[in-house]
């Protein structure tokens, strides 16, 4: 028996990297009986049946698990948002940040296509970068064309398991290609009619990039908050956690409660008003969802 990590899952086969070699493995029937599916990123024990094939016998305990993309043991999420084409969306970014924080995955915000900015849009993006850095997020401005920010991104990837996420057309594959040109990942031209890129990534695979492992995926398909309880939501806004300690009531939702320190911080300009507006809309969305049984 040997140990390894699943690097790719495709058509019922799991490609396990062990001591520099890749084994094409199938899962034992016991996994199906237990309703357990091996995931990319899983650390596994397997039995080699030849120089290149084998069977997975055990799956190690998972640090975390994502459904879409189906991957386990992710250490950080590289959230790629383009400055333009498609336009930067702070509300969509905040949605991603909540989902990533809820999985206890460290987020890194990457703003791509910086080379396409003009004067006015450059100032707007600079304000967002300042705001998110002040909250405590790691923000990297990049360009696959000028190579700006790529060295900084490569440093963050080294020695870690990362998932790259973001809406289609933001340049995820372009960035990975710039970091490792031999990948030749397909890049979808942005569809200006729909304002979204074509899906060009077909399966989940851990790729060796800049000394780390990176999952290039079709992006997060499920962006609903169905796995998050309403009273947990404030915890996934780091600046709310800090100011929330000053609220009069424990468990304050920061909506209509009296003497709410978070709302006071918003009114004082210490918390960006758009962050609070996004939070309020997320609360309303969660209140409208059907109860889970």
Query: Binding site for GTP: what residues are annotated?
Result: 112-115, 166-174
Annotated binding site for Zn(2+): 247, 252, 254, 260
User: Are residues 46 and 55 in contact, defined by beta-carbon separation less than 8 angstroms?
Assistant: yes
Q: Beta-carbon neighbour count of residue 238 at 10 Å?
A: 12
For 7, the token pair is 């690097």
Number of other CB atoms surrounding residue 72 within 10 Å: 21
DSSP tag of 212: E
Query: What is the DSSP pairing of strand 196-197 with strand 190-191?
Result: antiparallel
Give the residue among 109, 116, 130, 108 at the shortest CA–CA distance from 87: 116
Note whether 143 and 115 are within 8 A (CB): yes
Binding positions are 112-115, 166-174, 247, 252, 254, 260
Label the pairing between strands 21-27 and 53-59: parallel
The token pair at 218 is: 């079709």
CA gap 276, 278 in Å, rounded: 5
């Amino acid at each position: 028996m040997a140990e390894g990590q699943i690097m790719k899952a495709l058509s019922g086969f799991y490609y396990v990297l062990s001591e520099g070699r890749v084994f094409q493995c199938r899962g034992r029937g016991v996994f199906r009986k237990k309703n357990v599916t091996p995931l990319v990123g899983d650390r596994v024990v397997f039995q080699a049946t030849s120089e290149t094939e084998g069977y997975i016998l055990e799956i190690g305990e998972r640090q975390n698990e994502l459904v879409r993309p189906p991957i386990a043991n992710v250490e950080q999420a590289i959230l790629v948002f383009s400055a333009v084409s498609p336009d930067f969306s702070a509300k969509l970014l905040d949605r991603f940040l909540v989902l990533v924080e809820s999985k206890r995955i460290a987020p890194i915000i990457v703003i791509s296509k910086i080379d396409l900015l003009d004067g006015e849009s450059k100032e707007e993006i600079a304000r967002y970068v300042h705001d998110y850095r002040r909250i405590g997020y790691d923000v990297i401005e990049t360009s696959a064309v000028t190579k700006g920010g790529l060295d900084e991104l490569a440093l963050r990837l080294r020695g870690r398991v990362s998932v790259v996420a973001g809406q289609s057309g933001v340049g995820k594959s372009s960035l990975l290609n710039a970091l490792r040109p031999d990948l030749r990942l397909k890049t979808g031209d942005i569809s200006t009619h729909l304002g979204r890129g074509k899906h060009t990534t077909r399966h989940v695979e851990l790729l060796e990039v800049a000394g780390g492992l990176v999952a290039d995926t079709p992006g997060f398909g499920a962006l609903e908050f169905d796995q998050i309880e309403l009273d947990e939501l404030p915890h996934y806004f780091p600046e709310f956690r800090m100011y929330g300690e000053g609220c009069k009531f424990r468990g304050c939702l920061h909506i209509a409660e009296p003497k709410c320190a978070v709302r006071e911080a918003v009114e004082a300009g210490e918390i960006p008003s758009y962050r609070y507006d996004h939070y309020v809309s997320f609360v309303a969305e969660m209140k409208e969802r059907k109860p889970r049984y």
